[in-house]
């Protein structure tokens, strides 16, 4: 289905379309009305300053940033967990000391 609106100016048409989408109810299938409402509320769209990349930018916008922040938090949590696990049985006085000689990797010269 298609929803079209008319108004005296662009802003009134945008608000009318937003209201029409809010009042739209479709049962049994997935629609893109929520996406269209978000698009209509974008500041760039409201100003009329949009282009063919607007939707891609919208999709990669705040949600993508949140996703990246979650990846960063998970990475830090994994590092902290590994550190805690690896230092669980180490006495505080031993932290920062170099490993005993038999534990240090042997020096290897470049093959040449």
54 shares its domain with 5 = yes
Number of structural domains found in the chain: 2
Work out the percent of the chain whose per-residue pLDDT is above 90: 24
Residue 107 lies in a domain: no
85 shares its domain with 32 = no
Task: With a cut of 80, say whether residue 5 has pLDDT above it.
Answer: yes
Note the pLDDT of residue 9: 94
Please answer whether residues 13 and 7 qualify as being in contact, where contact means their C-beta atoms are separated by less than 8 angstroms: yes
10 shares its domain with 36 = yes
Please answer whether residues 50 and 44 qualify as being in contact, where contact means their C-beta atoms are separated by less than 8 angstroms: yes
- Distances in whole angstroms, Cα of residue 91 to Cα of each of 77, 82, 99, 101, 102: 23, 17, 13, 19, 19
Note the pLDDT of residue 54: 86
Residue 10 lies in a domain: yes
pTM passes above 0.75: no
1 shares its domain with 55 = yes
Residue 85 lies in a domain: yes
Confidence of residue 99 (pLDDT cuts 50, 70, 90): low
Structural domain containing residue 73: 61-90
Average pLDDT over residues 27-53: 89
Give pLDDT tens digits for 45-81: 999 988 888 888 887 766 656 667 777 788 888 888 8
Task: With a cut of 60, say whether residue 41 has pLDDT above it.
Answer: yes
Residue 78 lies in a domain: yes
């Amino acid at each position: 289905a298609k929803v079209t609106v008319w108004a005296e100016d662009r802003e009134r048409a945008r608000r009318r379309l937003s209201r029409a989408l809010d009042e739209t109810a479709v049962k049994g299938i997935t629609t893109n009305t929520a996406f269209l409402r978000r698009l209509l509320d974008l500041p760039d769209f409201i100003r009329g300053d949009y282009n063919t990349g607007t939707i891609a930018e919208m999709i990669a916008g705040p949600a993508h940033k949140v996703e990246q922040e979650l990846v960063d938090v998970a990475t830090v949590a994994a590092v902290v967990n590994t550190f805690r696990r690896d230092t669980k049985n180490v006495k505080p006085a031993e932290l920062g000391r170099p490993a005993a000689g038999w534990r240090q990797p042997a020096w290897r010269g470049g093959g040449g």
